[in-house]
């Protein structure tokens, strides 16, 4: 393989051209498969951090976590630690959490309030906008003279945009604007958040955080996998049949028998969207029953505001994987952080619907505990599957994973480049991998992705606010 040279300072580095990672996705007219090494190879993981997490939009937090000047949270863009902070002028900055002196992480707290950031190693001080304010003992005892070329401050991530309180950042100055990037996922987010009478959500509960020894893409795929529920969560299905909502489900997982639950889960549509977003939509077939009981007035008001068709989507079951690291399902924001090719951290943030009845928000929180919390049923089942997946992929004698469910019946959507499939189609997973393939291709640019293609090499063994 030909190498080439480049000079940085006085050091000459030898670079090897990267493999063409697009070969790890085998995509043809009636074929969509992913190579085992896309989940198991540390070299692939390192390339993802460069070609995906440094080039596209990444979710880093929510405005309700930093409501006032001086509020901050720590987050990640891929494996790079960042601070998300609101300065004295209430502007939001995303700063790389690394002192420019000797590289120490400046802030370890998950969140809080500060007037400045002080590096614990040598005491360098930074403002809320990242600007270097002071170098400790600057001229004392063999310090820095007047010729010292002081840096400006913490590295500021060049692009930060928000949509309805969701904060995204990108290291790529040329990344396309956030709203076009979201595409159909913008409508999905609107439908989730419009269930609040004020159109806003609040992250007021502490997150449930779990790590699993498996690849980050398992979580990205699974949150929009309509095919697994009746099998992976078989124990929960039996529990639901016996106890119904009496243990705190609050109507989230409907269906009194496995047959009824299966029928409900096989309704609706799955979407393969541009830019890697995958969605599942299950609108309600009948809404009148929602206008009775304790929350009838609240839900009727939403119905009257948005109309029956839109309300049926809002009140139905919506789940989305916003490429590459954000999920929304039920009343929850889910964020996955890649740590290594075989280690992932997932944080589940239950949210409240601002202006909704307190009892409604309380009931939804209880349902989160029942299914997703540390004593819940669903999260444990899913994490076990992710671990099984990673273990199974050690059987490297088998090259390819199959993502072809619904491939022949997914249909184009009029007026967009998105594809619509049945509720258990693997269309959302193909969305993720289509964008993965585009960004991981050697020399990939940042133009918006084109219509999901039926071409691709398969020889992987050769090388803002609304």
Domain edge (last residue) among 162, 197, 226 = 162
- 452 lies in a domain? no
Report the CATH number that the domain containing residue 333 is assigned in CATH.
Answer: 3.90.380.10
Assigned domain for 361 exists: yes
Position 271 in a domain = yes
Question: Mean pLDDT throughout 241-247?
Answer: 76
Q: Is 246's pLDDT higher than 80?
A: no
Question: What pLDDT score does 242 carry?
Answer: 80
Query: By three-state DSSP, how is residue 152 classified?
Result: coil
Number of H helices, E strands in the chain: 13, 26
Q: Within 13 Å, how many C-alpha atoms sit on residue 4's CB side?
A: 3
Residues 116 and 213 in one domain: no
Q: Would residue 272 count as lying in a domain? A: yes
pLDDT at 423: 94
What are 348's strand-pairing partners?
A: 208, 334
398-417 pLDDT, tens digit per residue, is 999 999 999 999 999 988 89
Whether residues 399 and 310 fall in one domain: yes
The answer to whether 246 and 207 have CB atoms below 8 angstroms apart is no
**Residue 354 falls inside a structural domain:** yes
Task: Give the model confidence (pLDDT) of 420-433 as tens digits.
Answer: 999 999 999 999 99
Q: For 166-184, what is each residue's pLDDT tens digit?
A: 999 999 999 999 999 999 9
Residues 137, 238: one domain?
Answer: no
Here the tokens at position 324 are 């590459």
The CA angle 388-390-394, to the nearest 5 degrees, is: 110
- Shared domain for 137 and 242, answered yes or no, is no
Per-residue pLDDT at 447: 41
In this prediction, residue 10 has a pLDDT band, given cuts at 50, 70 and 90, of low
**374 and 241 within one domain:** yes
- What pLDDT does residue 464 have? 38
pLDDT category of residue 12 using cuts at 50, 70 and 90: low
Q: Are residue 212 and residue 104 in the same domain, yes or no?
A: no
The values of phi and psi at residue 10, to 5°, are -105, 15
| Residue that finishes a domain, picked among 128, 162, 196 | 162
pLDDT, tens digit, for every residue of 199-229? 999 998 889 999 999 999 999 999 999 998 8
302 and 394 together in one domain: yes
Q: Is residue 370's pLDDT more than 50? A: yes
Mean pLDDT of 274-283: 97
Q: For 129-139, write each residue's pLDDT tens digit.
A: 999 999 998 88
**Order of strands, sheet of 278-282, starting from the edge strand that comes earlier in the sequence:** 208-212, 343-350, 332-340, 326-329, 317-322, 278-282, 269-272, 419-422, 411-412
Q: In this model, does residue 453 exceed pLDDT 60?
A: no
The beta-strand segments (E) located in 36-79 are: 58-62, 71-77
Model confidence over 323-332: pLDDT tens digits?
999 999 999 9
Lowest mean pLDDT among 16-25, 105-114, 277-286, 446-455: 446-455
Instruction: Give the mean pLDDT of 250-279.
Output: 86
Domain match, 136 and 208 both? no
Give residue 261's pLDDT: 77
Do 236 and 151 lie in a common domain? no
Together in a domain, 245 and 151: no
**pLDDT at residue 461 is higher than 70:** no
Predicted confidence at residue 445, as pLDDT, reads 45
Q: State the chain's mean pLDDT as an integer.
A: 90
- pLDDT of residue 248 exceeding 80: no
Higher pLDDT, 16 or 48: 48
User: Is 108 exposed, middle or buried, given 0-12, 13-18 or 19+ CB atoms closer than 10 A?
Assistant: exposed
Quick one: pLDDT at residue 264? 78
User: Residue 336 and residue 460: Cα distance in Å, rounded?
Assistant: 27
Residue 238: in which H helix or E strand, if any? helix 234-243
Give the dihedral sign, CA 38/182/110/350: negative
Question: Does residue 281 lie within any of the structural domains?
Answer: yes
**Biggest CA-to-CA distance, the chain:** 78
**Is the same domain home to 359 and 261?**
yes
pLDDT value of position 421: 97
Q: Which of 162, 193, 218 is the last residue of a domain?
A: 162
DSSP symbol at 251 = T
Give how far the C-alpha of residue 261 lies from the chain's centroid of Cα atoms, to the nearest Å: 27
Structure letter (DSSP) for residue 43 = H
Quick check: 317 and 268 in contact, CB under 8 A? Answer: yes
What is the pLDDT at residue 376? 85
Q: Look up residue 323 and give its two tokens.
A: 């490429």
- The answer as to whether 44 is a domain residue is no
Kindly tell me if the per-residue pLDDT of 377 is higher than 90. Answer: no
Ranking 143-147, 294-298, 303-307, 425-429 by mean pLDDT, the lowest is 143-147
User: Two tokens at 393?
Assistant: 């992929």
What is the per-residue pLDDT for 244? Answer: 78
Q: Domain of 113?
A: 58-162
378 burial level (CB within 10 Å; 0-12, 13-18, 19+): middle
Q: How confident is the model at residue 446 (pLDDT cuts 50, 70, 90)?
A: very low
Is residue 131 in some structural domain? Answer: yes
Q: What is the CATH number of the domain that holds 100?
A: 2.102.10.10
Report the number of distinct structural domains present in the chain. 2
The answer on 155 and 192 residing in a single domain is no
């Amino acid at each position: 393989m030909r190498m080439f040279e480049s000079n940085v300072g006085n050091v000459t580095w030898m670079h090897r051209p990267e493999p063409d990672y697009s070969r790890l996705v085998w995509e043809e007219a009636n074929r969509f498969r992913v190579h085992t090494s896309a989940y198991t190879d540390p070299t692939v993981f390192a390339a993802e951090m460069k070609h995906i997490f440094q080039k596209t939009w990444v979710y880093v937090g929510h405005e309700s976590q930093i409501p006032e000047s001086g509020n901050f949270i720590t987050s990640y863009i891929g494996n790079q630690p960042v601070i998300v902070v609101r300065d004295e002028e209430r502007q939001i900055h995303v700063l790389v959490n690394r002192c420019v002196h000797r590289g120490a992480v400046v802030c370890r707290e998950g969140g809080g309030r500060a007037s400045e950031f002080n590096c614990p190693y040598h005491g360098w001080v930074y403002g809320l906008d990242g600007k270097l304010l002071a170098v400790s003992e600057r001229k004392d005892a063999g310090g820095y003279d007047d010729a010292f070329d002081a840096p400006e401050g913490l590295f500021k991530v060049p692009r930060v945009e928000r949509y309805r309180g969701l904060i995204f950042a990108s290291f790529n100055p040329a990344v396309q604007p956030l709203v076009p990037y979201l595409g159909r996922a913008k409508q999905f987010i609107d439908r989730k958040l419009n269930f609040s009478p004020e159109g806003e959500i609040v992250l007021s509960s502490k997150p449930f955080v779990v790590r699993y020894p498996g690849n980050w893409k398992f979580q990205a795929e699974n949150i929009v996998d309509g095919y697994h529920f009746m099998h992976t969560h078989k124990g929960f299905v039996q529990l639901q049949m016996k106890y119904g909502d009496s243990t705190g489900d609050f109507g989230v997982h409907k269906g009194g028998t496995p047959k009824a639950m299966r029928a409900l889960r096989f309704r609706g549509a799955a979407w393969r969207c541009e830019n890697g977003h995958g969605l599942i939509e299950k609108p309600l077939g009948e809404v009148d029953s929602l206008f009775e009981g304790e929350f009838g007035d609240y839900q009727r008001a939403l119905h009257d505001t948005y109309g029956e068709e839109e309300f049926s989507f809002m009140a139905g079951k919506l789940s989305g994987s916003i490429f590459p690291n954000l999920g929304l399902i039920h009343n929850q924001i889910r964020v996955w952080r890649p740590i290594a090719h075989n280690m992932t951290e997932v944080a589940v943030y239950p949210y409240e619907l601002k202006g909704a009845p307190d009892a409604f928000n309380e009931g939804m929180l209880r349902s989160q505990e029942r299914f997703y919390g540390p004593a819940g049923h669903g999260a444990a089942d899913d994490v076990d599957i992710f671990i099984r997946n990673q273990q199974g992929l050690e059987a490297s004698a088998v090259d390819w994973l199959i993502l072809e469910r619904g491939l022949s019946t997914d249909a184009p959507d009029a007026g967009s480049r998105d594809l619509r499939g049945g509720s258990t189609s693997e269309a959302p997973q193909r969305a993720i991998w289509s964008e993965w393939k585009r960004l991981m291709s050697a020399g990939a640019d940042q133009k918006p992705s084109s219509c999901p293609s039926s071409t691709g090499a398969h020889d992987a063994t050769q090388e803002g606010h609304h």
